[in-house]
Chains A and B, each alone.
Chain A
Amino acid sequence: MKRIVLISFPLVLLSAFSLAQGIRVNPTGVNVNSQGATTVFLTFGGLTNYRAAEACWCGSLIPATPDIGLKCDSATIFGCLPARYDLSERSGTSAYTDIMSIPPSVARRAYQAAASGDESRFIYVRRFVSTVGGPDQFVNVTCRLTGGGARVPFALTDVKLAFASDAPVLFVKLGEKLPQIRAEITYNGTGRLKGRWEVVMPGQELPSERDLLTEATLPVEERSRQRRYSEVKRFNEFLPPSGKYVLPGPDPARLPNTVEGQYLVLLRVEATDDREGDSNLAAVGDANGVAHSGAVAGFPLPVLRYYIGGESAQARVKTETPTTVIPADGASLPSDKPVDFRWTDIPGAAAYRFEIQDSQSKNILSAILLPGAGSYRAPSWLKEKTSDGRLRWRVVAIDGNGNLIAESAWHNMRLIP
Chain B
Amino acid sequence: MRTGQFGASIPVNGGFEVDPSTIPDQVSTNQSFAAEWQFNKIRLGYRFNRSFQDNRQIGRELTDLRNVVNGLTLAINPLRELDLNFELSSEDANNRQIARTDQTLRLSCNLNWRTTPKSVLALSLWNTGVGSSGGISNSRNTEFDLQWSWRTAIEKDRFKKLQSQFFVRYSDRFARSNDLVFLVNSISRLHTLNTGLTLTFF
Q: Is the CB of B122 within 8 A of A228?
A: no
Q: A192-B93, A230-B145 are in contact. Are A221 and B182 (CB under 8 A)?
A: yes
Residue of B nearest to A281 (CB): B182
Q: Is the CB of B53 within 8 A of A190?
A: yes
Q: Is the CB of A404 within 8 A of B11?
A: no
- How distant is the Cα of A281 from the Cα of B98 in the complex, in angstroms? 15
Q: Is the CB of A144 within 8 A of B15?
A: yes
B58, CB-defined interface residue at 8 Å: no
B40, CB-defined interface residue at 8 Å: no
A residues 220-254 touching B (CB-CB < 8 Å) = 220-221, 224-225, 228, 230-231, 234, 236-238, 240-242, 254
How would you classify the secondary structure of chain B's contact residues: helix, strand, loop or mixed? strand
B103, CB-defined interface residue at 8 Å: no
B55 partner residues in chain A, CB cutoff 8 A: 275
Identify which of A155-163, A201-209, A322-330 touches chain B.
Answer: A201-209
A residues 119-166 touching B (CB-CB < 8 Å) = 119-121, 142, 144-147, 149-152
**Contact code string B55-80 (vs A, CB < 8 Å = 1, else 0):** 10100100101010100000000001
Q: Is the CB of B51 within 8 A of A254?
A: no
Chain B interface residue count, CB cutoff 8 Å, equals 79
Minimal beta-carbon separation of B42 from chain A (angstroms): 15
B106 partner residues in chain A, CB cutoff 8 A: 234
Q: A202-B196, A228-B141 are in contact. Are A29 and B149 (CB under 8 A)?
A: no
Residue of A nearest to B122 (CB): A258
Q: Is the CB of A121 within 8 A of B13?
A: yes
- How distant is the Cα of A45 from the Cα of B181 in the complex, in angstroms? 17
Q: Is the CB of A192 within 8 A of B120?
A: no
Which residue of B14, B22, B53, B149 contacts A191 across the interface (Cβ within 8 Å)?
B53
Q: Is the CB of A203 within 8 A of B13?
A: no
- How distant is the Cα of A92 from the Cα of B143 in the complex, in angstroms? 29
Residue among A144, A272, A281 with the highest chain B CB neighbour number at 10 A: A144
Q: Is the CB of B139 within 8 A of A236?
A: no
A67, CB-defined interface residue at 8 Å: no
**Contact code string B83-114 (vs A, CB < 8 Å = 1, else 0):** 00101010101010110001000101010100
The 7 lowest CB-CB distance pairs between A and B, nearest first, are: A238-B51, A224-B177, A120-B11, A289-B181, A151-B24, A120-B14, A150-B26
- Extra contacts, 4 of them, besides A31-B22, A31-B24, A174-B151 (Cβ < 8 A), are A150-B26, A281-B182, A287-B181, A404-B80
